[in-house]
Structure 1
Amino acid sequence: MADLPRTARASVALPGATGEVREFELAPPGAGEGWLEVTASGICGTDVGLFARGVSEPTVLGHHVVGRVAALGEGTAQRRGLAAGDRVVLEEYLPCGRCAVCARGPYRLCPETDIWGGGRRIGMIPAAERPGLTGGNGEFVFLPANAVTHRLPAGLTDELAAWVLPYANAIDWVTGAGGLRPDETVVVMGPGYHGLAVAAAARWAGASRVVVTGLPRDRERLAMAEALGALPVVVDDPAATAERIGALTHRPADVVVDTVGTDPSVLGPALDTLGHGGRLVLTHPKRPGAIPLDSGLLIRRGLRVTGVRGRSPEAISAAIASLADGSAGLGAVPTVEVDLEGAADMLSRLAAGTGPESPHVVVRP
């Protein structure tokens, strides 16, 4: 506790899609709790959406958190196997650890951390709730007793460590829901944060061909996908998407991962791209949520459509190892850093579509 400062600053998102830097007191952690000194906090689309819609109460956002253990309460070190100074990645989930879901293992589906059911997560708890610092966009983040952490190897930089969660998502989506087998073809719809992570995961998992699609305005991000070993396809006519992909791969896709967000118009081209036994992985709810799918096509080709949420602990371990040994290749994607004073402006720019070309934006307190 001697090294824990009395206060810490954080960027606070405010109602009305604005933000400001505030100072918070750092209370001694209770039993099972702790504090992390934040070294990197990756910005993802969920943060941008929360900021753009306007939070209902002032909130410290940020749930792709990398930090160093600064203080541990009674029993925390023994329960977590942590010590002061350890570097960790902090998951957003705050599972109860008692319910039937947690007992089976997939704690990311625990009702108490389900945001669709009013659950609680790192980066989404109002700042008025003590100790206030429960998001990554601050100098320190509170470690609740039910938080989930994963230790990081010494050689993994903070910039690459900020990829752990989106890359673990991608590994889970490609190898789990997508059921990717060696020498198969993967098509990634969208070259955003998760799209590039999926391209990297597909190459890591043994795909023989990886294609990433994007709009004409996405040419720089498609170039990043190409640096990851993917084939870029510019989509200016959605009806021609499957034909253009086929001209590159000379075979139907085995797995299509849709990362474009709420637009349902990509689903038709995605299904057209798949060959017999193909798998379509949906990573984001569409609007409207009820969308038509060609059931005849699904049956004729024996297609499978799977929705995904988050990632497994095994995927996180694989992501950490792959990032540490360089096999992820995600160092080819430039890192854009912003300090606490610039965090709200960056979120505003990203929401308006005027942010940097690289999707890997990291708050460095």
Structure 2
Amino acid sequence: MSRAIVFSGDKTWEEREFAEPDPPTDGAVLRVEATGLCHSDVDHFRGNIHTSWGGAFPSVPGHEIVGRIDKIRPATAAEWGVDEGDRVAVRELLITPEGNRIYGHDFSIHEGSGLYGGFAEHLELLPGSKVYRLREDRPADELTFFEPLSCAVTWVAPVRQSDIVVVEGPGHMGMATIVAARAAGASTIVVTGTARDHFRLDHALRVGADHTIDVENDDAVDRVREITNGQMADVVIDAASGSSVTVNLAMDLVRKGGHVVVAGMKDGPLVGFHPDWIPTRRITLHPGAGLDTERAVDLINAGKIPTADLLGDSFSLDGFADAFSLLAERTSQRDSIRVALNLS
């Protein structure tokens, strides 16, 4: 049997037991070692799925998945380039002839084995899945960072060698953007947040930021002007979730001819944005959309990412309630840069 967390879609969850799956034709079974938690899991818990095609409930969540190949047929092993026992990262996006699917988001427990999310002891890997071998010398919960990094390495596409980069938002995606920007060649990285983000802003310095700004107590535009000797940022990456005010601030922080990447999901429409900023200041806007799991895994395997400093807090499956509470209800007394489940 395989234990799993199941979200009902109505702000409730429960632990259930499922039959351990057999590998499907052209697929495999993964023994999950660890899965990272993401704020999209909170939205999933509340019944909201961030895909254009919706989702399904009840379902097993979790998409930042690291595990070991438990069962695989020889032909599939040869095609995928892995063997039983290999540790792998699972690309969350599954491309099928019928359309795209996302592990941990839009599979119902009534479909197949039901085990299509990472908050479970086993994961059924369907035909068309992509897995990438991961290093063996680091704990699995550290390596779940590959998934946010998979997004961040696409967000930093405009960054060139020696660029000055501002990252708005010191959440776990902001942390991923910091290390991705450094790997892309950024010379100076400035991270902005609010007074509530004090713990995270301090940690941003630990993982590679050069400066941090509390926008509630400092004028971000003045501080970036001071840090850059009036040049302003070459690239501003808005990794902040929630309020859309960070988009307008990004336009004030970027230099003429610079780049703004809008990545963080917003709660509502953008107010006060002036389209003339784009042509008059020659600003290029980029969508924060993309997934390059292979590039992220390569950076981690090459030792270019401080995975230990990016772990945050890790919980067992039995501690899921505490893990989810820390993710969804952080306070000034208790905060974490990331939260992961350790199932090994």
Please, what TM-score do these two structures have when normalized by structure 2?
0.90
Residue in structure 2 matched with residue 243 of structure 1 by the alignment: 222
Q: Distance in 2 between matches of 1:74 and 1:85?
A: 13
Contact 1:188-1:211 within 8 A present in 2 as well: yes
Aligned length: 333
SS in 1 for 2:276: helix
Q: Distance in 1 between matches of 2:48 and 2:296?
A: 32
Q: Distance in 1 between matches of 2:330 and 2:46?
A: 11
Q: Would you say 1:217 and 2:217 are equivalent positions?
A: no
Structure 1, unaligned runs of 5 or more: 1-6, 99-110, 114-119
Residue in structure 2 matched with residue 170 of structure 1 by the alignment: 152
Measured after TM superposition, the shift of residue 319 of structure 1 is 2.2
Q: C-alpha offsets along residues 177-219 of structure 1, whole Å, 9 cap, x if unaligned? A: xx11111100000000100110111112211110011110111
Say which of 156, 161, 184 aligns to 1:182: 161
Q: Distance in 1 between matches of 2:39 and 2:337?
A: 10
The one-letter code of the counterpart of 1:360 is: R
Q: How does 1:1-365 map to 2 (within 5 A)?
A: 7-53=1-47, 57-73=57-73, 75-96=75-96, 112-113=99-100, 120-124=101-105, 125-174=107-156, 176=157, 179-230=158-209, 231-236=211-216, 240-250=219-229, 251-289=231-269, 293-312=273-292, 316-354=293-331, 356-365=334-343
Q: Distance in 2 between matches of 1:60 and 1:245?
A: 43
Quick check: which one's helix share is greater? Answer: 1
The 10-residue stretch of structure 1 (324-333 or 156-165) with the greater mean CA deviation from structure 2: 324-333
Residue in structure 2 matched with residue 102 of structure 1 by the alignment: none
Contact 1:15-1:58 within 8 A present in 2 as well: yes
Measured after TM superposition, the shift of residue 356 of structure 1 is 4.7
Q: Distance in 1 between matches of 2:307 and 2:335?
A: 15
SS in 1 for 2:299: helix
Q: Distance in 1 between matches of 2:259 and 2:184?
A: 16
The 10-residue stretch of structure 1 (189-198 or 296-305) with the greater mean CA deviation from structure 2: 296-305
Q: Distance in 2 between matches of 1:86 and 1:21?
A: 27
Q: C-alpha offsets along residues 103-162 of structure 1, whole Å, 9 cap, x if unaligned? A: xxxxxxxx822xxxxxx2100211122201110011111111122211113334313311
User: Cα gap change, 1:268/1:127 in structure 2, threshold over 3 Å: closer, same or farther?
Assistant: same
Measured after TM superposition, the shift of residue 294 of structure 1 is 1.7
User: Cα gap change, 1:324/1:283 in structure 2, threshold over 3 Å: closer, same or farther?
Assistant: same
Q: Distance in 1 between matches of 2:48 and 2:184?
A: 38
The 10-residue stretch of structure 1 (348-357 or 86-95) with the greater mean CA deviation from structure 2: 348-357
Please, what TM-score do these two structures have when normalized by structure 1?
0.85
Contact 2:190-2:212 within 8 A present in 1 as well: yes
Q: Distance in 2 between matches of 1:144 and 1:317?
A: 19
User: Cα gap change, 1:288/1:63 in structure 2, threshold over 3 Å: closer, same or farther?
Assistant: same
User: Cα gap change, 1:298/1:237 in structure 2, threshold over 3 Å: closer, same or farther?
Assistant: farther
The one-letter code of the counterpart of 1:79 is: E
Q: C-alpha offsets along residues 260-287 of structure 1, whole Å, 9 cap, x if unaligned? A: 1131111111101010111111113434
The one-letter code of the counterpart of 2:121 is: E
User: Cα gap change, 1:330/1:78 in structure 2, threshold over 3 Å: closer, same or farther?
Assistant: closer
Q: Distance in 2 between matches of 1:154 and 1:364?
A: 15
Q: Distance in 2 between matches of 1:35 and 1:92?
A: 15
Q: Distance in 1 between matches of 2:322 and 2:255?
A: 44
Quote the sequence identity (%). Answer: 31
SS in 2 for 1:17: coil
Q: Distance in 1 between matches of 2:276 and 2:60?
A: 47
Q: C-alpha offsets along residues 167-186 of structure 1, whole Å, 9 cap, x if unaligned? A: 12111110x2xx11111100
Q: Distance in 2 between matches of 1:148 and 1:321?
A: 14
Q: Distance in 2 between matches of 1:348 and 1:69?
A: 30
User: Cα gap change, 1:262/1:218 in structure 2, threshold over 3 Å: closer, same or farther?
Assistant: closer
Q: C-alpha offsets along residues 193-246 of structure 1, whole Å, 9 cap, x if unaligned? A: 1001101111122111100111101111111111122111111068x3211222
User: Cα gap change, 1:343/1:54 in structure 2, threshold over 3 Å: closer, same or farther?
Assistant: farther
User: Cα gap change, 1:265/1:95 in structure 2, threshold over 3 Å: closer, same or farther?
Assistant: same
Contact 1:169-1:310 within 8 A present in 2 as well: yes
The 10-residue stretch of structure 1 (180-189 or 164-173) with the greater mean CA deviation from structure 2: 164-173
Measured after TM superposition, the shift of residue 11 of structure 1 is 1.5
Q: Distance in 1 between matches of 2:108 and 2:24?
A: 20
Measured after TM superposition, the shift of residue 79 of structure 1 is 1.9
